[in-house]
Each structure stands twice: as C-alpha cells, then as structure tokens.
Amino acid sequence: MQAIILGDGAMGTAIAAALRARGETVLGVHGRPKPGETHPLGNHGEHTAAHAGTGNGALLVAFDFSAGDAVAVNVDAALAAGCRRLVIGTTAWEDQREAVAGALVGSEAAGVASASFSLGVALFARLVEEAGRLFSPLTEYDPFIVEWHRRTKPDRPSGTARELSRRLIAAHGRKQRPTNPGQVAPPDPDQLEVVAIRAGASPGMHLVGFDAPGETVELRLTARDRSAYVAGAIASADWLLAAARPAGLHPFDSVVNDLLSNSTFD
C-alpha cells in the first residue's frame, strides 16, 4: 500500500507510524501551512493535486484526518492526483457529505467514512440501538448521552456522540432530536440530552444511560489510546484494496460486517 495522510495531528501521525511499522509506503503526512507561510501550490492553503501526488509510483490510498472544512478540498485534490481509495475519519463535515460522495462517484472512486474507526465503537453503537428499542416502551426510563474528550478537541459533541444520538433517536422513537450544545433550558420531552465534556487528556469516553426513579442503566465505552481507531482505519484501507467496491462513500459498518464474518481482505 502507498498512502498519503492529510492531517498531521495525533491520528494522522499515528496512522503513518502504524503503516510504516507494517512495511507500507507513506508518501507524506501533510497539515495546513502555518500562518504567514506560503503554500507551495496555493489553493488557499489546502492540499492540492500536485502536493498530494508527490512520491514514486501510484497513489493508492488517501487517509483524511484533517478538519471538517478541509475534507471536500482534500478529496478533490486526492482524486486529481489519481487516488481512487479514501479513508475519511474527520468529523464535522456533514454539510460537505453530498458533494464528497458525488465527487467520488464522478471519479469512480470509493471511500470509507466514519466518525470513529474503532471496532469497539461500531459494536457499541449496535448495542445502543438495541437498548433504545428495548427501553422505548418504558416511559419512566429517560435516555441520555455523555461524552468526554481531551480539553483541546475542537468539536462538541464528538462525531461518535452525534452518531450514537442519531442511532438512539431512530431506535427509541419517543426522542426526536438531540439537545443543542450550550442549551441552557431543560430539554423538551422529545429531546435527547447530549452532554460534552472537554477536560484533561482523555482520548475518549462515551456513556449512554437510561435513568428511572429507582435505577439507572448505563452502557460505557472508554478508549485508553488511539490504537483501536488506527487499526480500524487501516482495516478500512485494506477492505478498499481487497476488491472493486462500488463508487461512492461506504460506512465503516460494511468493513465491520466483513470482519465479523471472518472475511479476509488484508
């Protein structure tokens, strides 16, 4: 595998290190230019086709772990460089999703996109859906979500919390929408309370609870480091390389389903 990493934060550098440890070729790990620094190829300081395409041989996989407002530009650059397989783990780019999916289809390229590439998170989300269905008829049990990440994480709630709330709302039925970040008033009866904590160095904790007058039922997933997320992102690249996938964006659940069925694609 030859790979380009778009985003030089903790996840981007961790993926690069894991790929190199596996003997893969990493063509580069690219972040945005620093303030006042002139980008070698312009384009408003984002990655460009020539920037992404440096290195010897064909560019096979692009990993995007950058910032939400950079995803569409980064995908266009990777496609222009000849990349037809992309793994997108950036969050807060929902407003660009339709454009990104269209660009992939137009270039006959395939990508896997997810707010989290942890296998544990993927299975945890399925447990949350089932819990939502089970507790839905019991009106005295009020569901809620709490997530805690490092102080410097910019988005709130996390992409994983947003996905968990989407699934829980769909399965639960009586909740129709999440609370808004910074909402002061108590949640309406049809609102799912979602709370984000930004403190310390926690790599990620998500708690889904159902509270009633006499008891509280909790489902909790705590990350100890980023290794699970890195492993899932690389497994997604292997999945894309293993077969001709339909053009467009694929959910990480498709990769998980193959892993659960003992399919091999490495």
The superfamily in CATH containing domain 2-117+227-260 is: NAD(P)-binding Rossmann-like Domain (3.40.50.720)
Partners of 167 in the β-ladder: none
Average pLDDT, the chain: 88
pLDDT at 155: 86
Q: Mean pLDDT across the stretch 181-202?
A: 93
Q: Mean pLDDT across the stretch 194-205?
A: 95
pLDDT at 265: 61
Show which residues are catalytic.
Answer: 149, 153
**Residue 163: is its pLDDT beyond 90?**
yes
pLDDT at 50: 46
53-62, 140-149, 167-176: the lowest-pLDDT one: 53-62
pLDDT at 248: 97
**Residue 44: is its pLDDT beyond 80?**
no
**Residue 45: is its pLDDT beyond 50?**
no
State pLDDT tens for residues 53-83: 544 445 689 999 998 888 998 888 888 888 8
pLDDT at 266: 53
Q: What are phi and psi of 167, to 5 degrees?
A: -70, -40
pLDDT at 263: 63
pLDDT at 58: 54
Nearest by Cα to 244 from 98, 64, 84, 82: 84
CB 256 within 8 A of CB 126: no
Q: Mean pLDDT across the stretch 188-202?
A: 95
**Residue 218: is its pLDDT beyond 80?**
yes
Task: Give the residue extent of every domain in the chain.
Answer: 2-117+227-260, 119-222
15-19, 98-102, 112-116, 155-159: the lowest-pLDDT one: 155-159
CB 59 within 8 A of CB 82: yes
**Residue 39: is its pLDDT beyond 80?**
no
Nearest by Cα to 114 from 14, 4, 251: 251
Interacting residues of 168 by C-beta distance below 8 A, sequence separation 6+: 128, 129, 131, 132, 143, 145, 175, 192, 208
Answer positive or negative: Cα dihedral of 266, 88, 124, 174: negative
pLDDT at 34: 58
**Residue 124: is its pLDDT beyond 70?**
yes
Q: What are phi and psi of 85, to 5 degrees?
A: -135, 125
The CATH architecture to which 119-222 belongs is 2-Layer Sandwich (3.30)
Amino acid at 147: E
